Structure 1
């Protein structure tokens, strides 16, 4: 007769080889002989959990925890199964019991942190995870949860640090490779993200959601054919995977086939068992395709049944409605899209001003003591637009404190009405500090009398005078107009080459302000002056914009800086522009100094150069160039800009 240890050893060998059915049979044979065998109960529970048999997994996990109530691993397993089974009561008991036995147990701390995050207590979750990491600094589970928490909070620095450290512990883990790759992709580092996602795909070729991630990244890098192949495979293999359809529609839009993709998805959406989620995804697909009005119409029925939606569905619905309203210029409809609209409660005015708190003076006083925190769902460009708003009355001369990722420090430093503090360097000793803060996005819900209008704060970015003086001397004597050019790093974006037709007979000077990998495109067009190579900070970019006659480019930091400075600019965009490029008669609503020129259809800019050339020519001719003193020396002195001396 086979011994129990022999059966357990064989079962584990089958599990490691992926033969779960064979392993399960052997574990069951162990339990037939020894019903209280803890190892068999736990390991069979994991298999049942993997198979999606939650009831069987719950029964096994409860039996294991009951027989070994001092086994933290058994308690952690029970808590994990209970959470997946929506039995938060059982999970809470198991977690508390496990923490009482071992307050630093990695899995139990991870589960406890997850429940704290679901309850909105991020500080407690962060403190718990950091404390557990002091005892288990290389635990991939703890590192992963902390990474995800920071990314959701808009703190990419520590988020990537922890995910990469987790990956270093298990370099061939496809889930961790996907985590790092997807985080890099969300941050716009698509070229860096691609190798991680491709390695994960080789390790898990049947992972359909991973294929969807990979397709999005390939699209962002201009590899449209491969992106289409993967996106099409996803919706064919798993037609009910809603995220796959969103990626597919996006890819098809850049192929000029958005309508066909939407028609395909509509059939699936009507039959989908999750009606609410399908409706949300369909609305999002229309928004991606450049039709926010249709997206808004699809969302209206959800508002009628709003009370029946889950919190996640409510949040997604309101966020999408807000985006569509902003894109369409329905600015008076934006404030009601915030789930929390009680400003008094958010500022704690019950304690601050007593029962009768709420006058404008009291609100203004409370806001003056409040910081703006850049919420995690905002991109850096979203934040640049909204940072025009402040919480301190202008007449006080006091800056509003802004909390956010350190990567934004350079930009906020150019805003005289703001004081920046980085919040992406976790410090355990600071975890109990209490700071009254409002999410930056909530500025859209504040009454205009408290935060100002969309344009009353313009300009809110200023180039430092010392850098302006340096660049003024460096650019002196060059043929005018001085036109700044910006462009994208890869297709399907706008490349430097796409400007060539528009500037064939241009008599002025073209100046590049690209400072990243997009600079390599200058090697094919030597007539464009490479100012970006001399940049030491965003102050140089702002100074060049201030000392030239106009800037042309796609959506990006240079165009936003120009708009925030009130500089003349032309934005080149596709019809599915982000919300902040709403315009009336081609004039940006958020940045009135920016002219908005859009193409007729979505797709690669390679096929749209002739379409935008006339508008570029008209913009250049419209610039009023100030009279200059005669200067026969057209050489450029960049040594001054680079060395910081005039």
Structure 2
């Protein structure tokens, strides 16, 4: 053996013993003696590759190839080029190797890696399968094949390949990790639990395996083992603080825990590390929506969709943000777009169902929710959406069952408990609803919806001091942001009003405005100059009410003022309790001239001694608040028979078509075009000429109560909070008598009881 050959053999022995630096030095000494020694150039190139000096490696191996056409040289050159991120050149090197030796398994393995790096996964699969066939004992191609098959959606094949690999090579941490990834891709609990086991094995083999810690934590999040997941992310981020994906997945966990500000920070850290991570921009948008920063949220979603316009998840997240801001029609369109991009994406079906329920498209909502659960049976959002859809259909027991499953899947979700509270409230189970809302507030202290609903249930139970405080949280709803733009002055929170100007304004329905006008003189008595903004329909009534210095309509410019306050915030600020009510009544006065004119018309149209009973049967049927309130006009028939005279319609706009489909023997008269064209002042004047008004829960009840006219109010079994839970007496209006459904939907029972009362001669307010 020549001297150079002996040196080469000694250097190779060092190399095989893992003494890379010594081997590299020995190869370099050989090249000083013989600069064109092909094998020394090749082996020094391999050593440099192992030392991370990839450019030097590629250059040395190219020189070796120029001296000797060797398949292994070309294959190792491909390795260096892959490390340098030059997969096309790596592919060319592999094909050169295979042109020299078509049976070189290592070259097929490297070719598979080069094709995979070019997103040519099907071709990569074929190359890797050939490498395995040529050298079944070599683990690397099997490990790579498992990854490629998983990304091709061939999960079962990936699991089979990786399971076989681990049977032959049980100590491969990367194979355990990839098998865990394959199992985790399934949404069933058994496979996800098995995936955790394989992540644990990968970590046991390599405790510093940051990706395994991060993916394990992400899976634990899906399994709702939140404490374990958070601990896992903490470890993963200590090992790899620059991992954008780990920060992103940690943000998902924090979002599910309703730790919104922390989640936002995690997504922003991910974006700082990887600005093109579209999913992080998208989830950042959702967190910004939850923090009521809608303009920033929209910008984040736009960035995400510029980066990945065909990603269903990004459209889904935009839809969630739109729904959060109460843009339900737009949210439905965006969720439908997400489904078009990926019909199997269950969360988009669930989100579409929730939006359709908000839009009162209950049948479509139920279908969408059931499709979500067909695709992903354990999806909490799917069960939640099904509950909302069934609730919109009035199927409360079935809705509660679905919402219970959602809460079991997401026990730490405040929204799950809010939804449970709503369905129990609507069944009249107020104590349980209160407990649900309280639970939600303990899980998430900044949830306006839970506090607001807690306020409503306490008002329903007559606990006004507690109720008003929670009721104020309605002002934090995303839909109230328009108030911030229209009313730039501070919100009145009980400050001294002496010498100050306060703008009082309506916020909800016309009935709410009428109900709260009683408090305006009290505010004026605090020393304030009161500017009242309210629906134009109230104008002529307000003109005759004391305490208002100036009246404006919602379309008028807002005048300067020291404070503003929604009318329904006044009970809280004034300390109103049941014992304070009703206060001075009547507190509105119809115009006497108008009253006289209408009395004359009604005397002519409905001469005495026939009784005069005005009726209102429908509210705004397009409003969610009207659910269960409006009454079929035909249900008034027993009362009409008892009265023995035509009922007089006070109805406007909604439900008028029912006048053409009355039961035999029932007559309802109308007041003509003059009444239809009139405003609330006309309605108040008409009511003064009647003996009684019988109505569903609409603004006419508040109007009649405010002027002290007798009213029979028909309410559903679980009625609006202001009518409490039992009894005939209204705390707000002494002249209103409350008639309650004996059971949900039983209007016949209400009107039969009214008819009996009328016949017995005990008709009274």
Q: What range is the shorter-chain TM-score in?
A: 0.5 to 0.7
Q: Deviations over 1:353-377 (max 9, x none)?
A: xxxxx9x9x83526x63222445xx
CA contact (8 A) 1:227 1:251 kept: no
Instruction: Mark the CA change 1:115 to 1:277 in structure 2 (over 3 Å): closer, same or farther.
Output: closer
Instruction: Mark the CA change 1:417 to 1:552 in structure 2 (over 3 Å): closer, same or farther.
Output: farther
**C-alpha separation in 2, matches of 1:284 and 1:336:** 19
CA contact (8 A) 1:198 1:214 kept: no
Which residue is equivalent to 2:519? 389
Which residue is equivalent to 2:679? 537
Which residue is equivalent to 1:528? 668
CA contact (8 A) 2:353 2:366 kept: no
Instruction: Mark the CA change 1:409 to 1:309 in structure 2 (over 3 Å): closer, same or farther.
Output: farther
**C-alpha separation in 1, matches of 2:506 and 2:595:** 29
Which residue is equivalent to 2:268? 87
Is 1:470–2:470 an aligned residue pair?
A: no
Q: How many residues align?
A: 451
TM-score (normalizing by structure 1): 0.56
Which residue is equivalent to 2:737? 595
**C-alpha separation in 2, matches of 1:449 and 1:251:** 33
**C-alpha separation in 2, matches of 1:407 and 1:434:** 24
Please report how far the alpha carbon of residue 55 of structure 1 lies from its aligned counterpart in structure 2 after TM superposition: 4.1
**C-alpha separation in 1, matches of 2:707 and 2:407:** 45
Which residue is equivalent to 1:500? 637
Which residue is equivalent to 1:372? 504
**C-alpha separation in 2, matches of 1:612 and 1:403:** 38
Q: Deviations over 1:320-370 (max 9, x none)?
A: 111001111112322443779xxxxxxxxxxxxxxxxx9x9x83526x632
Instruction: Mark the CA change 1:25 to 1:473 in structure 2 (over 3 Å): closer, same or farther.
Output: farther
Instruction: Mark the CA change 1:278 to 1:450 in structure 2 (over 3 Å): closer, same or farther.
Output: closer
Instruction: Mark the CA change 1:370 to 1:425 in structure 2 (over 3 Å): closer, same or farther.
Output: closer
**C-alpha separation in 2, matches of 1:494 and 1:116:** 38
Please report how far the alpha carbon of residue 610 of structure 1 lies from its aligned counterpart in structure 2 after TM superposition: 4.3
CA contact (8 A) 2:366 2:390 kept: no
Please report how far the alpha carbon of residue 87 of structure 1 lies from its aligned counterpart in structure 2 after TM superposition: 3.3
1:474-485 aligned at under 5 Å gives the runs 474-477=601-604, 478=606, 479=608, 480-485=610-615
Which residue is equivalent to 1:285? 423
Please report how far the alpha carbon of residue 310 of structure 1 lies from its aligned counterpart in structure 2 after TM superposition: 4.3
SS of structure 2 residue aligned to 1:555: coil
SS of structure 1 residue aligned to 2:552: strand
Please report how far the alpha carbon of residue 563 of structure 1 lies from its aligned counterpart in structure 2 after TM superposition: 2.0
Instruction: Mark the CA change 1:497 to 1:294 in structure 2 (over 3 Å): closer, same or farther.
Output: same
Instruction: Mark the CA change 1:329 to 1:385 in structure 2 (over 3 Å): closer, same or farther.
Output: same
Unaligned runs of 5+ in 1: 1-21, 27-52, 60-81, 95-110, 130-140, 146-172, 186-192, 341-357, 626-646
CA contact (8 A) 2:452 2:472 kept: no
**C-alpha separation in 1, matches of 2:653 and 2:502:** 35
Instruction: Mark the CA change 1:583 to 1:524 in structure 2 (over 3 Å): closer, same or farther.
Output: same
Instruction: Mark the CA change 1:410 to 1:291 in structure 2 (over 3 Å): closer, same or farther.
Output: farther
1:618-633 aligned at under 5 Å gives the runs 618-619=757-758, 621-623=761-763
Is 1:516–2:646 an aligned residue pair?
A: no
**C-alpha separation in 2, matches of 1:599 and 1:236:** 38
In the alignment, which of 664, 676, 689 is matched to residue 547 of structure 1? 689
Which residue is equivalent to 2:456? 323
SS of structure 2 residue aligned to 1:503: helix
Which residue is equivalent to 2:717? 575
SS of structure 2 residue aligned to 1:497: helix
CA contact (8 A) 2:504 2:565 kept: yes
CA contact (8 A) 1:392 1:398 kept: no
SS of structure 2 residue aligned to 1:591: coil
In the alignment, which of 396, 403, 413 is matched to residue 275 of structure 1? 413
Instruction: Mark the CA change 1:309 to 1:385 in structure 2 (over 3 Å): closer, same or farther.
Output: same
**C-alpha separation in 1, matches of 2:334 and 2:541:** 35
TM-score (normalizing by structure 2): 0.48
CA contact (8 A) 2:544 2:588 kept: yes
Q: Deviations over 1:598-622 (max 9, x none)?
A: 213324xxx6324532224415743
SS of structure 1 residue aligned to 2:496: helix
Instruction: Mark the CA change 1:420 to 1:504 in structure 2 (over 3 Å): closer, same or farther.
Output: same
SS of structure 1 residue aligned to 2:573: coil
With 230-239 and 259-268 compared, the bigger mean Cα shift is at: 230-239
Which residue is equivalent to 1:166? none
Instruction: Mark the CA change 1:599 to 1:230 in structure 2 (over 3 Å): closer, same or farther.
Output: farther
SS of structure 2 residue aligned to 1:247: helix
1:118-517 aligned at under 5 Å gives the runs 207-208=348-349, 209-218=351-360, 229=367, 239-241=379-381, 244-251=385-392, 254=394, 257-272=395-410, 274-302=412-440, 305=442, 309-311=444-446, 313=447, 315-337=448-470, 363-365=496-498, 369-375=501-507, 378-390=508-520, 392=522, 400-403=530-533, 415-418=545-548, 419-423=550-554, 435-448=562-575, 453-477=580-604, 478=606, 479=608, 480-488=610-618, 493-517=630-654
Instruction: Mark the CA change 1:470 to 1:198 in structure 2 (over 3 Å): closer, same or farther.
Output: farther
Q: Deviations over 1:227-277 (max 9, x none)?
A: 65556556666742276255235235x2xx423432342233123154322
Please report how far the alpha carbon of residue 499 of structure 1 lies from its aligned counterpart in structure 2 after TM superposition: 1.2
Instruction: Mark the CA change 1:338 to 1:229 in structure 2 (over 3 Å): closer, same or farther.
Output: closer
SS of structure 2 residue aligned to 1:390: helix
Q: Deviations over 1:455-511 (max 9, x none)?
A: 114323332223212210111052432111111276964121221233224323411
Which residue is equivalent to 2:486? none
Instruction: Mark the CA change 1:575 to 1:610 in structure 2 (over 3 Å): closer, same or farther.
Output: closer
Instruction: Mark the CA change 1:117 to 1:235 in structure 2 (over 3 Å): closer, same or farther.
Output: closer
Please report how far the alpha carbon of residue 585 of structure 1 lies from its aligned counterpart in structure 2 after TM superposition: 2.1
**C-alpha separation in 2, matches of 1:499 and 1:199:** 44
Q: Which one has the bigger helix percentage?
A: 2
Q: Deviations over 1:50-78 (max 9, x none)?
A: xxx9946999xxxxxxxxxxxxxxxxxxx
Which residue is equivalent to 2:67? none
Instruction: Mark the CA change 1:500 to 1:201 in structure 2 (over 3 Å): closer, same or farther.
Output: farther
**C-alpha separation in 2, matches of 1:615 and 1:583:** 19
Please report how far the alpha carbon of residue 297 of structure 1 lies from its aligned counterpart in structure 2 after TM superposition: 2.5
Q: Deviations over 1:563-606 (max 9, x none)?
A: 22222111111122111122652111222221111213324xxx
Instruction: Mark the CA change 1:318 to 1:203 in structure 2 (over 3 Å): closer, same or farther.
Output: closer
CA contact (8 A) 1:512 1:531 kept: yes
**C-alpha separation in 2, matches of 1:412 and 1:284:** 36
SS of structure 2 residue aligned to 1:463: coil
Which residue is equivalent to 1:344? none
CA contact (8 A) 2:642 2:758 kept: no
CA contact (8 A) 2:452 2:470 kept: yes
